[in-house]
Structure 1
């Protein structure tokens, strides 16, 4: 097939141009593909789940940063002392009893740890970036599922309509066969054949109605609302046919690949952090306390401040084991990047193959429908003249029904394949489609928590308001 024929066929059958979805008119209460994609984006529990996981990863950065900030603690005690004291065998025994209260304020600040904490912070940041790209990849899956669900309902409804029309035609054929039997033009066998074909049509209609119910359930789950008056998707203006360029683009920008790259970086920093953890730590430590004994005039007030240095010399091999484990994780993430890149390249190739196959099937079904319609019309006219049997008419009607059903399925497959191409290249996100939705800002929560704000600080109070809003949603 020539490239011009391919492009013209895409224009004729009407695949949606994603970038124009939000700008399309919406007649009456009709529901467009853009509406379905908006519903999926706004009501997906899977997206909500992974957005929460991203916020959890954001908190890991705050936790890692806190290691470089002062640690302030307090400790208090209330002690009752009692007993009996005798200085010698000749002296009388005296009882001692006192109540002592103490409170201490303890501060600690890490001064230097050979970069172990800094490496942990950078590793947490890389994990955040990997989680963001994972969220984008899941967003693509959610939107592609919505496209498949939308086209699945349209396909199922069209098949039901074809089956209903076929049932009406076969009912007419049975009536005609009985009329011809009454006048002796056909035998009882012809009538039985028409009855059998009609029963088969009823069975096929029941199966199609069951498939429609399942398609509607999938739509409700994928989109979050009932399928109403779904309109056919608009026309796709252009689809790139350069397979090698598409594969190269996908390897560079697909969210799954980008997530794997950041996971490799995080694993590499984890190795550096565990190696640095074997070095000494220098800490500034201070405390101030008050101790007072009740019913006496004695009290103690004072504090201390100093710099401490220390290093774990031996811990049963735990530190070395942690380094080796981090190295193994790095090797695993490097291998995962290779696997993911290969899978993405394969998905692009599969998507383009499916698109070409569905397009070819659609063109073939168009030709088949024209030929089957002409054959059916001719056979039916010949049957009226006695040149064809009832079986010939029924067979011709079945061929025409199969051709029309094939076209309906091919059209749905072509739409899904076109969007699968976009997903395989990493271009099926709400931003790419210009959907009329509030795009989730993956950096907003991170910017609030990255510096580990105190609970009662201005930034901490703003964060509390954000968390309450999220819980309401």
Structure 2
């Protein structure tokens, strides 16, 4: 018990003294949560796929060069002589020569028509980026849901600890009263023992409550980024929820990031199917080169030869041994799988939404029941204590009444927590669990900013747009522009 209490005390000392709100916790997690930061970096890396795909429209230039040295010996064209006077001919004269050469070439290639290969690759990259944005929204919702649950769990456990501490104080007073009445002979030793047993059980429950609170605080610190202080009550979410489940279903169909991600994945697979079919099409490009060849040592530009070439290259695939047809069939089946995954995602979301909605309704009804239970238990506890003072109730009756009151208070706290978490789950499945939900001052992270920055960057050439139009004539655009989900209004 002492170790648990020390751990809880250490966390309390590290926590800020002022009350924190859920909006402040969400804002801090939105800016600093490592899971969210990593997903944003992944999305920025995914944006580069579009730049890499568009590079297929742009010219490619490369320079190559070489330097060679040759020691040429030709038997029969010379004769060996004696150079050191020992009578042995050891040096070849006239049949050996040195040679060196150097060359440099600049080569340019400009695609004019790729048969739709590049157009399909660009479409696939766009679909992947849009699917990545939905994955980012999904990650944001998961992180915010974790913040909300950690906040609600910590609030619940703080209230639970307060109730357990109050229970220990009440039972301690009850034990003191029982001991005093036993000393004057009004009750028996059995009544005192009953009070002692209940107090010992309450102290054990207090230790458990301290450990549970320490665990919830650790989860809060891991998700939010700081230890919780004195947490303010949770704001109501009723203004954000629809009037009935039908409206929730419609919102999920349009805004749920899991469904939208599956839809963009299907569009990406459709674009890759078009890219596989484009392998049957011819391609056309311009080529040019400038080369110099001459002696390396000594180098002389006047004595070197220069070669300039320019031309057009038309490539028509005739026979690939069935490779291209196999790739088309494989891409077609992958597209079928992604198309089916859209329905899988929709059913999973509808199942989760139905469960969260019913949990919300049950928890909401449970709040009213526990409120009434607490009121009745409090009246019963007071009445039982007064009746004990006049001899109409026993010590055990008082202890049972106090226990029922504490259990009712704990049920009330848990019901409020469950209703709040269930409401946030409904919002999450609807695709409306956004950071500005509770804090309009949060600066929304826009993944399109990085993408727009890279649309015209190093390597862009002005003639790639008409080439893209020509290349996409036979490759219809498969990616539909997304509709940005409207954020819900902040609750009152």
| Residue from 311, 315, 320 that aligns with 1:310 | 315
Is contact 2:77-2:95 (8 Å) kept?
Answer: no
The worse-fitting range, judged by mean Cα deviation, of 271-280 and 56-65 is: 271-280
Structure 1 position 72, deviation (Å): 0.3
Where in structure 2 are the equivalents of 1:325-344 lying within 5 Å?
325-344=330-349
Work out whether 1:80 is the aligned partner of 2:81: no
Structure 1 position 317, deviation (Å): 4.2
Structure 1 position 451, deviation (Å): 4.3
RMSD: 2.1
Aligned to 2:210: 209
| Residue from 348, 364, 371 that aligns with 2:369 | 364
The structure with the greater share of residues assigned to helix is: 1
Is contact 2:72-2:99 (8 Å) kept?
Answer: no
Aligned to 1:3: none
SS at match of 2:115: coil
Work out whether 1:390 is the aligned partner of 2:392: no
TM-score (normalised: structure 2): 0.83
Structure 1 position 120, deviation (Å): 0.5
Is contact 1:133-1:258 (8 Å) kept?
Answer: yes
Aligned to 2:5: none
Is contact 1:156-1:211 (8 Å) kept?
Answer: yes
Structure 1 position 321, deviation (Å): 3.1
CA distance in 2, matches of 1:41, 1:88: 84
SS at match of 2:266: helix
Structure 1 position 148, deviation (Å): 1.1
Is contact 2:27-2:439 (8 Å) kept?
Answer: no
CA distance in 2, matches of 1:109, 1:340: 43
Work out whether 1:30 is the aligned partner of 2:35: no
Where in structure 2 are the equivalents of 1:99-138 lying within 5 Å?
99-138=100-139
CA distance in 1, matches of 2:163, 2:350: 38
- Shift in CA distance, 116/433, structure 1 to aligned 2, threshold 3 Å: farther
Aligned to 1:319: 324
The worse-fitting range, judged by mean Cα deviation, of 271-280 and 231-240 is: 231-240
Aligned to 1:430: 435
Is contact 1:430-1:439 (8 Å) kept?
Answer: yes
- Shift in CA distance, 369/78, structure 1 to aligned 2, threshold 3 Å: same
Aligned to 1:41: 30
Is contact 1:32-1:232 (8 Å) kept?
Answer: yes
TM-score (normalised: structure 1): 0.86
Is contact 1:65-1:452 (8 Å) kept?
Answer: no
Work out whether 1:283 is the aligned partner of 2:285: yes
Is contact 1:87-1:93 (8 Å) kept?
Answer: no
| Residue from 243, 263, 266 that aligns with 1:264 | 266
Is contact 1:44-1:222 (8 Å) kept?
Answer: yes
- Shift in CA distance, 432/261, structure 1 to aligned 2, threshold 3 Å: farther
SS at match of 1:436: coil
SS at match of 2:20: coil
Is contact 2:436-2:442 (8 Å) kept?
Answer: no
CA distance in 2, matches of 1:277, 1:186: 97
Residue by residue, what CA displacement relative to the aligned partner does 1:216-255 show, whole Å, maximum 9, x if unpaired?
A: 1111111111111211123446332311121012111212
Kindly tell me the number of residue pairs found equivalent between the two proteins. Answer: 428
Structure 1 position 444, deviation (Å): 1.3
Aligned to 2:227: 226
Structure 1 position 183, deviation (Å): 2.1
Structure 1 position 203, deviation (Å): 0.6
Aligned to 2:385: 380
SS at match of 1:171: helix
- Shift in CA distance, 90/170, structure 1 to aligned 2, threshold 3 Å: closer
Residue by residue, what CA displacement relative to the aligned partner does 1:419-464 show, whole Å, maximum 9, x if unpaired?
A: 2222121111124545312221211111122345249xxxxxxxxx
SS at match of 2:164: helix
Work out whether 1:351 is the aligned partner of 2:356: yes
- Shift in CA distance, 280/452, structure 1 to aligned 2, threshold 3 Å: farther
In our comparison, the structure showing a higher alpha carbon Rg is: 2
Aligned to 1:273: 275
SS at match of 1:240: coil
| Residue from 45, 51, 57 that aligns with 1:68 | 57
